Structure 1
C-alpha cells in the first residue's frame, strides 16, 4: 500500500496529486475545467532552487497533507525566515502544480483586489476616444487578481500564497470566509451584461493570456492549495481559524540548517561553516530571532571573501547573523 501522504517533502517532482481522494461532499465544486486549463506561466528565477532546498519536518508534511485532503487553506505561523512562504513553492514544485500565485498582503489590501480589478477610467477614456473595442470588449479592462486566478476552474489546483495575512485590515480574514466556503465569486460588471454577453474573455494575474468567464461567475473545479502565512502579530477570528488547517513551523535544527546550506551553497561551504552554524543555533537558543537567509548570507560571504586579501572577514560574517529581535528575556 502506498503512503497516504501526497506531499512528501522529497524535493522531487511526482504525480502524487492524482492519488488525492475525492473531497468531502461539502468541499466539492462544480466549475468546468475545460476553458481555464491554459499553459502555466514560467517559474520566477530562483523559485525552483528555493523549492528544492526546502526541508520540511514531519509535522509540516503531515499537516500539509491534511490541508490537501480537506481542501482547506493552510495557515502557517512561525518566526521570520523559517520557510513559511517557501512551503508554497515546495508544494507546487513537488506536485507539479506550476508556478505559485502570490498575493502579498498590506494594511490596504481588500478582498476585491485579490479577486479582480476593473479599469473603469481606462474604459471611459477609450469610449471618449470613440474606440469601438471599449464598448464591445469589457474584458479588456478586467484582470483577475491572484485569488481570482487561483479560483479559475482547472482539473488540477493552483497554489496560492497569501503572504503575511496578519498585516491585513481587521475585516479581510472575515471577508475571505465566503470565498473559502463557496469556492466562487461574481464579477458584478459582467453579471450586469450576462443577457447580452454570457461569456467574456478576461486577463489573468499570471500573464498566461485571457480566459473565459461565463455568466459573470468564476467557480473552481479543484479548490486551490492556499498557503496563508502569519508572523503571529495578531489573533484571527474563530470562524476564520475553523476554516483553516493550522501549522506552526519551528526553527530548523542544526542538522537541518547544514542540509539547507548544502542544498543552496554546496558541500564545500558546509565543510567550512561549522562554527557559523554553531553560533547561529546558540543565538537562537538564547532567544534571538534569526532568519535562515542570514546564515546563508554569512556562510557565502565568508567563504568568498576569504579568497581575497585583507582582514575583518570574520567580524563581518558574525555581524550578518546578528539577531533581528529578542524573543525572550
Structure 2
C-alpha cells in the first residue's frame, strides 16, 4: 500500500477484504430517532435579509416561494425552519409531471374497501370502517386543525402540470378541503377516524368530510425556475430568491458542516470550484463532497478531485 492509500475502499483487484466503513458525511447519515425519518437538523446558513423574508411569510401566514439555482439550499430551508421553530417532522410533497392536487390532499382506496366488504359479508361480519381506507396526503395532513402549525415542503412545483399552481390557490386561501367520500355519509357516521401522512400511524377525526386548519401551515414551495407561475398565484406568495454563495459564504458553509479544520488546505478546491461555477451549473453540496474526500485522504489534485464529484448540472452527462 502506498502512502495515503488507505482511502481506497474498492481497488478492483477481486481480492476479498472485509472492512469497517468510515464515517459517512454528516449530510448522508441516516437512522434518525424517529422511524423512517432522517435527522435533518444540520447547519443552515442564511443571510439576515433572507431570514427577514422568511419571517414576513410567517407573520402573513402566506406560502414562501423559494427560487434559486440547484444546490442553493431551497429544500433545506424548510427543514431549518421546522427545526428552529420546533414544528416537528417536515411534511414533504415532491412534485412531478403527474402530480395532482388530490394526491396531496388525501387518498381513498375504493377497491380495497369493496374487496374487504365482500370478504366480511361472506363471513357474516359488519361492514368495514371507511376510515380504514382513507389516508390524508402531506397537504391534507398539514391542514389538520392543531394549536401549532405543521411545516409543509412543496418541492419543485415548477415540474408539475401548468394548472397545478392555480389548483392550489383555493386550498391556500380557504385553509380547508372536503373529502366527498366522507361528506356523503349519513349523520350516524358524521365523525370518521382517518390515517395521516407519515410513518407514525397518527389518526385524526374528520367531521362531515371537512378538514379545516386552525393555524395555517408553514408552507415552503421551491422552484428551479423552469417556468413561470400565474400572477394570481405569485400574488398570494411571499417570494425569496436564494443567491449563489460567494467565497466567504462557501468557507462558512464548509466550516459549519465539516468543522473549522476542514478549511485547512482547501484553497485550491475553492478556487477551482469558483472558476468552474457558472450560474446554475454547480451546487454547493458538490464542493462539500470534494472537501470531505480531501479530508479523508483522497490523494488527487484539485482538478482531479473536482472532476470526480463536480459534474455540471446542465447539459448531457
What aligned pairs does 1:314-329 form with structure 2 within 5 A after superposition? 314-319=302-307, 320-325=309-314
Normalising by structure 2, what TM-score? 0.83
Structure 1 unaligned blocks of 5 or more: 1-39
Q: Is the 8 A contact 1:81 1:292 kept in 2?
A: yes
Within the alignment, does 1:187 sit opposite 2:179 as a pair? Answer: yes
Q: Is the 8 A contact 2:92 2:152 kept in 1?
A: yes
Q: 2:218 aligns with which of 193, 217, 225?
A: 225
2:134 match: 142
2:159 match: 167
> Structure 1 residues 277, 141: CA separation in 2 closer, same or farther (over 3 Å shift)?
same
Q: Is the 8 A contact 2:268 2:302 kept in 1?
A: no
What aligned pairs does 1:1-329 form with structure 2 within 5 A after superposition? 44-49=37-42, 53-130=43-120, 135-208=127-200, 209-284=202-277, 286-287=278-279, 289-306=281-298, 312=300, 314-319=302-307, 320-325=309-314
> Structure 1 residues 189, 261: CA separation in 2 closer, same or farther (over 3 Å shift)?
same
Q: Deviations over 1:250-270 (max 9, x none)?
A: 011212211211121222222
2:14 match: none
Structure 2 unaligned blocks of 5 or more: 1-32
Normalising by structure 1, what TM-score? 0.80
Question: RMSD of aligned C-alpha atoms?
Answer: 2.0
Q: Structure 1 residue 45: deviation in Å?
A: 2.1
Q: Deviations over 1:212-260 (max 9, x none)?
A: 1111100000000000000000011111111111111001121221121
Moved more, 182-191 or 122-131: 122-131
Q: Is the 8 A contact 2:273 2:306 kept in 1?
A: no
Q: Number of paired residues?
A: 279
> Structure 1 residues 289, 239: CA separation in 2 closer, same or farther (over 3 Å shift)?
same
Distance 1:43 1:274 in 2: 38
Q: Structure 1 residue 74: deviation in Å?
A: 0.5
3-state SS of paired residue (1:305):
coil
Distance 1:304 1:43 in 2: 29
> Structure 1 residues 287, 182: CA separation in 2 closer, same or farther (over 3 Å shift)?
closer
Q: Is the 8 A contact 1:194 1:216 kept in 2?
A: no
> Structure 1 residues 82, 43: CA separation in 2 closer, same or farther (over 3 Å shift)?
farther
Q: Is the 8 A contact 1:123 1:134 kept in 2?
A: no
Distance 1:263 1:148 in 2: 35
Distance 1:229 1:133 in 2: 48
> Structure 1 residues 300, 125: CA separation in 2 closer, same or farther (over 3 Å shift)?
same
Distance 2:37 2:69 in 1: 24
